[in-house]
Amino acid sequence: MAASANDSPDPSAPPARTVRPRASAKGEQTRARLIAAARTLLAGGLAERFTTRNVAALCGVSHGMCHYHFQDRTDLVLAVVTDIRPEWILPLEEAVAAPGSFAERAERVVELLSRPEGAELSHLHSALHWHALNDERVRESLEAEYRRWRRCFVALFQVLADERAAGPAGGRAVDPLALGEAVAAAVDGLAAAESLGSEVDSGPVLRTLVRTLAAGA
């Protein structure tokens, strides 16, 4: 049977809005508190204490509530990996992406990397590396973060490559990947030395390295 006129859609009517469920503000707050508690335990350096039960207890919620937001301990670690991104990767990306010449951007990067890393962030990185050795999912997540971090240095030297290409007679060719990876490796090595208490003034070392690589490229 044909539909009646009353059943026909009105072409002039606005399209129906699709209502999508949203996480409650309280649920988001609980999740954020669990991540903060996970950070506290991870930064404490006691791997054996890092359990969903201990995270829930520190947060002041039930163990079941912790598992409502995070399936297992690995999910909590992965959330921490994402949570610390604004503290070490995003500032570097912003320093490279902001307007300016290669020299200006390189100086911003060096100044940023010369600042002492906070104790909590340093301890978190150490704990995350430990978990990466014992959990494939954490290893893959952390390696993805480090790839993103290393791309910042490649992007920096891409600016130099573009400047050279736009110069007289095209300028001398620059390999942004090789130079960027070289500086990333040096920064990582300096961070490791500093974490062991070595007194290294990373600013002048990095500034000299970047300028020497840029001049020799």
Q: pTM (2 decimals)?
A: 0.82
Q: What is the pLDDT of residues 116-157, one digit of tens each?
A: 888 899 899 999 999 999 999 999 999 999 999 999 999 999
Instruction: Tell me which residue of 121, 57, 59 sits closest to 91, measured CA to CA.
Output: 121
Q: Identify the pLDDT of residue 171.
A: 64
Q: What is the pLDDT of residues 154-197, one digit of tens each?
A: 999 999 999 998 877 566 788 999 999 999 999 998 888 877 76
Helices 202-216 and 176-195 cross at an angle (nearest 10°) of 160
CA-to-CA distance for 178 and 160, rounded, in angstroms? 13
